[in-house]
Structure 1
Amino acid sequence: MKRTIALATPIAALALLATPAGAASEVTAPEAPAYSLRGSASGTLPESFGQWAGEKVRFTIDARSDGAKTRGTFDVFHAGMPGKPTVGDFQGKISCLVAGDGIAVATGVITKGYVNVGDKPTTEVRGKKVSFTVHDKGRHDTMFWMWEFLGAPVNDCQGTAPMFEPSKSSFKVKG
């Protein structure tokens, strides 16, 4: 929002200088960009995920932003290996979204859910930040994520390289 105002001020000044004395002039700020990230993905984590390799994950994201206001939700499910507890099951609200050239970064805050990590007891993760980066490649999307509850520093609209290739995905990025 600050950036839009900062850009509008010089434009308004130039318009006033170019307007003949006594003539009325109306200057409007540039229209804010519209972004969206919608869809889902699921797959099995590869060997590069270490202790979680072979486990199944599922993500659903529905986020949109008009440049001034961001809204949306996310849902994450991470199944454990057969006979082991679910690793994570949480939902939340999207707080920031940016997109361009088929790539979107969405961050949000968990509103409900839990994780089971290592030998620790089930931990509620409400209030923790998360980040999702999605590259919309049609039927071969890639994505990645960061979890504050695992020690990752998550800042608004901060993402990572989308390296995970889900076996099924339907993400659509606009913006």
Structure 2
Amino acid sequence: MNRRLATVAASLLLLAATVATAGPASAAPASAGELAAVDDFGPVSVRGGGSTVLTAAFQGFEGDPVQISVDARAATNTDPRSTTGHFHVRHVHTDGRLVADFEGDITCLAGGGREAIATGVITKGEAPWFPGTELAGTKVALSVEDNGRHGDRMGWVWGVFGQPISDCQGTVPFIRTTGGDFSVRG
């Protein structure tokens, strides 16, 4: 069991390192319109849910279905204290056994264009796949890319595996949803 946890943690660390060191291929200078959009710090929200099937990158969990739902809103992108909302995550192994099921409160929300990052704290849940793992009080980061009714993307980082997570810090939405729909405004 410890080996499986280590494999998952190593996969997440590798993913985080890859995301952290990857830079943009080429960035064109921002136009005046794009700069105005960046300065728009009005209300932001992310609502909806998505499901996916884990890929081979998640060794030992390939083929597992994962569902994530988020309902969060903030008065502005610049004041995380205005954030309210809730999240729920469910991960089941291909053999039907529960890997983890947890939910919590959103503590920070930042969005821009079609993407949003929501961080939160788990308030209750269980992770029978990882006996002895305490979930309550652990931070999570959820990221969403809204691509219309089909083809959204999502990503996540769990503090459960020792990842340091700060408010409104997350990863790129790295896996395409196979069902559901997210709506990002902001």
Query: Is TM > 0.5 for Structure 1 vs Structure 2?
Result: yes
Aligned to 2:175: 164
Identity over aligned pairs, percent: 41
Matched, 1:111 2:123: yes
Task: Select which of 111, 133, 137 maps to 1:99.
Answer: 111
Aligned to 1:75: 88
What are the within-5 Å matches in structure 2 for residues 1-175 of structure 1?
33-67=42-76, 68=79, 69-82=82-95, 85-117=97-129, 120-138=130-148, 139-175=150-186
The AA in structure 2 aligned to 1:136 is: D
- Partners of 1:149 and 1:74 lie apart in 2 by 16
Task: In structure 1, list runs of 5 or more residues that go unmatched.
Answer: 1-29
- Partners of 1:76 and 1:122 lie apart in 2 by 19
User: Please, what TM-score do these two structures have when normalized by structure 2?
Assistant: 0.72
Kindly indicate whether the alpha-carbon contact (under 8 Å) linking 1:140 and 1:169 is maintained by their aligned counterparts in 2. Answer: no
Task: In structure 2, list runs of 5 or more residues that go unmatched.
Answer: 1-38
Name the SS of the counterpart of 1:149 in structure 2: helix
Q: Which has the larger radius of gyration?
A: 1
Paired residue total: 143
- Partners of 1:151 and 1:51 lie apart in 2 by 19
Residue 53 of structure 1, CA deviation: 0.8
